[in-house]
Chains A and B, each alone.
Chain A
Amino acid sequence: MKTMKCVLLFSCVVALVSPRCVALPNTPTEPHHVVSPTNFYNASSAHDNLLDDHSGVVAKTDILDHVSDYPHGFSDGGHGAEEGHGADHGAGHGAGHGSGHGQIERYPVAVIDFERVQTPFIIGLWIFCACLGKIGFHMTPKLSNVFPESCMLIVLGVLIGLLLFYTQAASVSPLTADVFFLYMLPPIILDAGYFMPNRLFFDHLGTILVFAVLGTIWNALTIGISLYVVGLAGIFSTNIPILHMLLFSSLISAVDPVAVLAVFEEIHVEEVLYILVFGESLLNDGVTVVLYHLFEGYSELGEENVQVVDIVSGIVSFLLVALGGTAIGIIWGFLTAFVTRFTSGVRVIEPIFVFVMSYLAYLNAEIFHLSGILSITFCGITMKNYVEQNISTKSHTTIKYAMKMLASSSETIIFMFLGVSTVQSRHEWNTWFVILTIVFCSIYRILGVWIFSAMCNRFRVKKITFVDKFIMSYGGLRGAVAFALVLTINVEHIPSQPIFLTATMAMVYFTVFLQGITIKPLTILLGVKRAEKRTLTMNERLHERSMDYITAGMEDVAGRHGNLLFRKKFKRFNNKYITPFLVRDKNVMEPKFIETFSQIKMNEALQYMATNGNASKNIESFTSLLRNAATHPHLLKNNQGEWNLDVGELEYNPTTRDINDAKFHHLLSSEYTAVKRHRGSTYKRHAVKDDDMQTQTDVNHHNMYLHTRKFVSNIKKPSKTTSKPAENGVVKHPMTVDTRAAFQQNGSAIKLKSDYMAHVMRDNPAFVDDDGISSYTRDKPVSKQRSTRGPTMAETALPWKRYSDDDVPTSAQKVKRQMSIVPDDGDNATPTMAEASLPWKRLEEEEICDQPLRQSEFPAWASNKEYVCYYSPSSTFLGGLGKHESYPNIREIFGRRSSSSSVSSRRGSLKDQHIGAKEKPPSKHYLKERVSSRSSLNEYISHTSPLHHPDMSLHMRRHSYTGEHSLLNTTIAEEEGRRDTVIDMNPDGEREQTRM
């Protein structure tokens, strides 16, 4: 229905427009010519420029006969460069000018100047109609379930063509070969290349190449020769020489990427099958181009003049075309990656680079008559991985959608133009030729697939099954590439071009309609495995990768070098040399792990946000927070023992919204901040980006902060001097250092966090040194060294490594033991992780340990983020609701952005100590006892505050966590407008003070 509507609409527009554009060249008294001369001059000179630009192209590719047959062409898309058209224009121009001089010109009130905008306007209309058609098509599920979209578009095109034809509105030849190859095709191929599943593609590259190269040559030769042989019998009633036949067969033999994409995108077959058919259709372009030019050249030479030299040079040129195109593409791909390395300042132009440079790669290949399709495909494949790591998330999204949009509109236009051209082209129907073409194409396709898949199966681990073969042969769709190629055939050299054109059309219709429509039910009938669209789970990603390594290792053991070995080699080379050069950030060996991880996290966060998003409108203001804090009994209680200078100590009563936000915040921020691709930055409410935060809240926050600080410290000042420092189990930074650090997040904060892990581990009762006597001075250097370096994972997680601090000689011994595979082989320099952790090595080490520390002693909750963050009844403010024996520190609440594990384990320890402090009344004695018994404390203190002088015995500070304070900052930003309210708070606070 909708389809009909839009056809009607289009016809109206055409009816309105067509008399003008058709009549124009002959009738110079168009409204157009009433335009003032300058205006007119501009208009026509613009046209002339256009024509000049393209005349070279036109002359070079002997443009189709029908162009000159229909001189007042409706203009062909984009670069409307027909010589006839241009000539008429010149005439019109002259005439208009002459008549303009004859009359007295009055300034016109209104001017209709359709001519000037004709070309782009009509192109716009095409696309508009096609898209309307698409909408209509997808709104009628009955249609879209049965037909592939491409069919609908062709039908729509035919309808429009018929309309134009019978209304004599215009003679349209929209799909010229140049329009097709220079403008329509590149977006589709780029999209295909850029979003190509690399792994899959290269896994099956061998098979794909066999099909693309051998299969296409096979098809071309057999179809051509068979047709010729049949033609000898005189069945076609015209005599077509063998070379012409081969020319035709070479263009008809190639599977068309556009058609394949259009159909296979809809049927969602299993990815391997898909990549086989699709990869073939992409890569056979090189072959097609060569064969086509080869036979075209031979045909022009004439049959009798072809010599061995020509054949040899044909073969050489094949290699050149295919490899050259690929090489150009790869070079441009690397260039693009390299350029995007420097775009961090101008994010907006990132997508431009991707598009323009890949297009340049295409054109660059076309300059040398190399395979543009191969070039742009490999350009996309090459650049993708590096570019993705360089560009911002927004650019990524832009590229993704722009590319999809361009590709899908190109595809739409191509199919529509195919339909229109069906009506408009000059046909010569030769029944037998058409039928035999279709028959031979089908037969040889099936035969070819059978032969070559049998060939490939000898080398494939995963065999091509019968069903696969069937779908592969059935999916050999022909399409617009063949059509565009047949259009470029010069009818002067090859008189039977109209026959070829018709046969090609028929073949395209046959494959797109018959096969395209039936392939979907057939896949269901045959039980072809369908592809599932999903992101890999972390497990799959991880284990599959490890399986790759295992299998590769086994291949090495078995002495056979397979595909995996090449991959491994390339990967290593890539990681070592290419990636550092092309990618801005530091690279990791398995970026995919992190990518998958962040993807999963992101989805979860978004999901969570969608379900629990704006739960409450009650905005907890910072003011009320302060008020709460000031009035809360907890503050009083705390005063006995210690004086706290920090707002962080304030009691915090979170509302549902806060909890929700914070939960979301955890989900989103904790893993996100450090992830390379910055996926997390797409959606942020609270987790403001570093630089954003810098610009937005820095000043305000500081002012705000000063206010609060003054306020709080005013309350407490009197007793501060008198009170003795008390141990609370936690240590606090000075506020200033803290905030500064918070703003400079990335570098220092991350290091601090990782330092943190070490401390937490140490601080945990499970890791308290046994010797017990540890002086501050002794521990200090060790810790210093640690904090600069940051403990490695091994140090923190592996039990034996932890000893390295307290027991140097034995640990050295241990390491030595561990790393030697041969026990007496002492010259092994550095033990790998594997060596250190493999059990047969660990055994010896455990013997030495006087008191073995197993991981199980590590309390489960300390390292389990899920538990601590979400389920733990204490320690987080989420769970801490209604649980009043431990009040979490506000700083910590907001400092959640730090990584899960360090936070969680730390949180665990915090709770532990806090409760411990509660059980015993905090006294000097107790403090001493603790300090002496827990040697780690001092160390801990010196670690956590590497920025300030460790004179913590003077002031006992609660430890304020130097994470990121984004949530807090946002609150402050919200509050910033109401600063006076905060100042109004003072009386409140004073009252508090007096009460104390």
Chain B
Amino acid sequence: MGNKSSLMLQEQDIKDIQEETGFLPGQIERLYSRFTSLDKGDNGSLSREDFLRIPELAINPLGDRIVHAFFKESEDDHVNFRQFVRVLAHFRPIKHNQENNLNAREEKLRFAFKMYDLDDDERISREELLAVLHMMVGENISDEQLNSIAERTILEADTDGDQMISFEEFCAALERSDVEQKMSIKFLK
């Protein structure tokens, strides 16, 4: 499999991907081998089942959303390697010397925002927030408490008074938190 994968990954592809995402060639190759190991069907693309087969992801409360994020860009229900890497590129640590638009703070924030915003209207409604809260908090909490938490959260961030959290409001609410660090993964070379 390993051989095959490196065969399938052309020099030019690596270069392109590197250009686009800022990953180093070594990182790209490593990601590619990960990609192929996830790809049980061996058809060069990942389906939802492939993702959900990752055991940790299956129990991650936001697992479905995370998987969904990979499929945002693809029309059919398959993710190819380019798309796969592009999503992961959001999580590259920010370095001063290599600026890349994919892993900028705003992109990271947008990624997090999209986790909530399912209907793509650039706003987080109360229901969307509640759904995420419910996933994270679990069952042992009364609905009204969750409800009031959600309401409170919206009220706090909502500056224009539309009872939704727009992306701008979302960014403003998280202005002081260390998003760069929180949404960064150390990719191995």
Name A's B-contacting residues (CB within 8 A): 459, 461-462, 532, 537-540, 542-560, 562, 565, 568, 572, 586-590, 593-594, 597, 600-601, 670-671, 674-675, 750, 753-754, 757, 791-794, 796-798, 821-822, 832-835, 837-840, 855, 860, 863-866, 898-902
Contact B183 A551 (CB under 8 A): yes
Contact A546 B118 (CB under 8 A): no
Contact B135 A833 (CB under 8 A): yes
Q: How far is the CA of A572 from the CA of B60 in the complex (A)?
A: 10
Contact B163 A864 (CB under 8 A): yes
Contact A565 B64 (CB under 8 A): no
- Check B10 for interface membership: any CB of A closer than 8 A: no
- Check B130 for interface membership: any CB of A closer than 8 A: yes
- Check B174 for interface membership: any CB of A closer than 8 A: yes
Known A562-B186, A839-B119; judge A554-B91 contact (CB<8 A).
yes
Q: Which 4 A-B pairs have the closest CB atoms?
A: A899-B144, A834-B64, A539-B173, A589-B138
Q: For the complex formed, measure the closest distance between the CB of A265 and the CB atoms of chain B, giving whole angstroms.
A: 21
Q: How far is the CA of A898 from the CA of B144 in the complex (A)?
A: 9
Of chain B, the residue at the smallest CB distance from A554 is B91
User: 17 new A-B pairs (CB below 8 Å) besides A837-B118, A899-B142?
Assistant: A461-B93, A537-B173, A543-B173, A544-B174, A544-B177, A544-B182, A546-B112, A547-B182, A588-B138, A597-B148, A601-B152, A754-B142, A757-B144, A794-B134, A797-B127, A899-B144, A899-B148
- A-chain residues with CB within 8 Å of residue B87 when the two chains form the complex: 554
- Out of A532, A754, A855, A863, name the residue touching B176 (CB < 8 Å): A532
Of chain B, the residue at the smallest CB distance from A794 is B134
- B-chain residues with CB within 8 Å of residue A866 when the two chains form the complex: 151, 155
B contact patch SS:
helix
Of chain A, the residue at the smallest CB distance from B141 is A588
Contact A821 B57 (CB under 8 A): no
Known A539-B173, A546-B112, A839-B118; judge A899-B186 contact (CB<8 A).
no
Contact A901 B149 (CB under 8 A): no
- Out of A461, A548, A568, A594, name the residue touching B145 (CB < 8 Å): A594
Q: How far is the CA of A560 from the CA of B91 in the complex (A)?
A: 13
Q: For the complex formed, measure the closest distance between the CB of A468 and the CB atoms of chain B, giving whole angstroms.
A: 13
- B-chain residues with CB within 8 Å of residue A900 when the two chains form the complex: 144, 147-148, 151
- Check B81 for interface membership: any CB of A closer than 8 A: no
- Check B1 for interface membership: any CB of A closer than 8 A: no
Name B's A-contacting residues (CB within 8 A): 31, 34, 37-38, 48-49, 51-52, 54, 56-57, 59-66, 68, 70, 87-88, 91, 93, 111-112, 115-116, 118-119, 125-127, 129-138, 140-149, 151-153, 155-157, 163, 165, 170, 173-174, 176-188
Q: For the complex formed, measure the closest distance between the CB of B123 and the CB atoms of chain A, giving whole angstroms.
A: 12
Q: How far is the CA of A860 from the CA of B93 in the complex (A)?
A: 41
- B-chain residues with CB within 8 Å of residue A855 when the two chains form the complex: 125, 127
Q: How far is the CA of A578 from the CA of B56 in the complex (A)?
A: 21
Contact B62 A549 (CB under 8 A): yes
Contact A901 B144 (CB under 8 A): yes
Q: For the complex formed, measure the closest distance between the CB of A639 and the CB atoms of chain B, giving whole angstroms.
A: 36
- A-chain residues with CB within 8 Å of residue B48 when the two chains form the complex: 821
- Out of A754, A757, A865, name the residue touching B148 (CB < 8 Å): A865
Q: How far is the CA of A394 from the CA of B187 in the complex (A)?
A: 47
Of chain A, the residue at the smallest CB distance from B48 is A821
Contact A537 B141 (CB under 8 A): no
Q: For the complex formed, measure the closest distance between the CB of A286 and the CB atoms of chain B, giving whole angstroms.
A: 28
Q: How far is the CA of A546 from the CA of B64 in the complex (A)?
A: 13
Q: For the complex formed, measure the closest distance between the CB of B33 and the CB atoms of chain A, giving whole angstroms.
A: 9
Contact A822 B144 (CB under 8 A): no
Q: For the complex formed, measure the closest distance between the CB of B111 and the CB atoms of chain A, giving whole angstroms.
A: 7
- A-chain residues with CB within 8 Å of residue B68 when the two chains form the complex: 838, 840
Contact B149 A538 (CB under 8 A): yes
Contact B57 A556 (CB under 8 A): yes
Contact A565 B185 (CB under 8 A): no
Contact B144 A754 (CB under 8 A): yes
Of chain B, the residue at the smallest CB distance from A795 is B143
Known A554-B88, A674-B145; judge A543-B140 contact (CB<8 A).
no
Contacts A/B (CB < 8 Å), 21 sampled = A537-B156, A538-B149, A542-B149, A543-B170, A543-B174, A545-B136, A546-B115, A547-B179, A549-B66, A551-B184, A554-B66, A554-B88, A560-B188, A589-B61, A793-B147, A796-B143, A833-B135, A834-B65, A864-B163, A898-B144, A900-B148
- A-chain residues with CB within 8 Å of residue B37 when the two chains form the complex: 559
Known A754-B142, A866-B155; judge A562-B185 contact (CB<8 A).
yes
- A-chain residues with CB within 8 Å of residue B148 when the two chains form the complex: 597, 670-671, 865, 899-901
Contact B152 A546 (CB under 8 A): no
Q: How far is the CA of A536 from the CA of B126 in the complex (A)?
A: 20
Contact A557 B51 (CB under 8 A): yes
Contact A546 B137 (CB under 8 A): no
Of chain B, the residue at the smallest CB distance from A834 is B64
Contact B134 A793 (CB under 8 A): yes
Contact B61 A586 (CB under 8 A): no
- B-chain residues with CB within 8 Å of residue A821 when the two chains form the complex: 48-49, 52
- Out of B34, B62, B127, B178, name the residue touching A546 (CB < 8 Å): B62
Of chain A, the residue at the smallest CB distance from B57 is A556
Known A558-B187, A900-B144; judge A540-B177 contact (CB<8 A).
yes
Q: How far is the CA of A751 from the CA of B77 in the complex (A)?
A: 43
Contact B144 A588 (CB under 8 A): no
Q: How far is the CA of A796 from the CA of B149 in the complex (A)?
A: 16
Q: How far is the CA of A740 from the CA of B138 in the complex (A)?
A: 32
- B-chain residues with CB within 8 Å of residue A792 when the two chains form the complex: 143
